[in-house]
Amino acid sequence: MAQLSYRDAVARGIAQEMRRDPNLVFLGEDVAAAGGVFKTTVGLLDEFGPERVRDTPISEQAILGAAAGAAMTGVPVIAEIMFSDFLAVCFDLVANEIAKLRYMTDGQVSLPMVIRTANGAGSRFGAQHSQSVENWCMMIPGLKVVAPSTPNDVVGLLAAAIRDPDPVVFFEHKSLMAVKAEVPDGDIVDQLGEARIVRNGSDVTIVALALMVSRALEAAERLARDGISAEVIDVRTLVPLDTQAILGSVERTGRLVTVEENPRLCGWGAEIASLVAHEAFWSLDAPILRITTPHIPLPAADILEDATIPSVDRIVETILAEWA
């Protein structure tokens, strides 16, 4: 077992699967010699060569068009879209082609492909390079959606995504790249659709994703000083969604709080709130709370960006206000 950063876990996860499957190819902007704009693909070109690790032109449509075409012929592909915001440039391919092809061919054609992309705020990249857009993809039938919060989950969930026969959009959070944690040696393969309870509690369930998981955990520690026992769930995959883990937790605690980096309108937390309100209404002892980014473009100024994204202070203050 060794300490591994989130960014290095990406390279390890890709390398693990490229060693396992000699047909797997990887393409994207600056992913080869440069090692990726976030240095998440360092060493892959040296190990696997330019036939399997390919730099592309600056064209998101070309990247996903080539990847989809290869996947349709049975070649498994990892395609990188540098910033998740740029999915908007190629969203027709994502939403109308990649997501629907298996359905439209009655299963005769599958797309074994993973779209990797850097997501989220906190790195001062401004309104066009800092969005959390996992809810964009969550709403499209035919896509699976993954967003790991730890280096270990990066490796295991990336392996699961690559081995899945359906297209998976894999969101890597920019503000987690330098985070380090212990990762076991050997191959790691996780399971899509399984949330993880990362802190047990009895008074309130906090559901979080990616960067918000560590903030929810810190908030839970602070709430414990005020006598509030918070259970924290790392969703990990939005599609498929582990509804049983969420509902089971709410049935134990009687309260639900979602912490999401999405803008408030139509964020993934709204879907979870709807699910719990319908399936576990009689278990609720208080209204569901959603802690989100406001429905505004993200500012570039440090102090404004920090004030916009859900913080540990805001999580604690919102929950304590409910108890007042």
The SS3 call for residue 321 is helix
Residues identified as active-site? 129
C-beta atoms surrounding 148 within 10 Å: 29
Angle at 305 between CA 149 and CA 199, to 5 degrees: 30
Classify 277 in phi/psi space as left (phi over 0), alpha (psi -120 to 50) or beta: alpha
Q: What is d(CA 217, CA 200) in angstroms, rounded to the nearest whole number?
A: 10
Q: Kindly give the residue spans of alpha helices, DSSP state H, lying in 141-188.
A: 151-163
Q: How far apart are the first and last CA of the chain?
A: 45
DSSP per-residue string spanning 190-242: --TT--EEEE--SSEEEEE-THHHHHHHHHHHHHHHTT--EEEEE--EEETT-
The SS3 call for residue 296 is coil
Token pair 């009655």 is found at 106
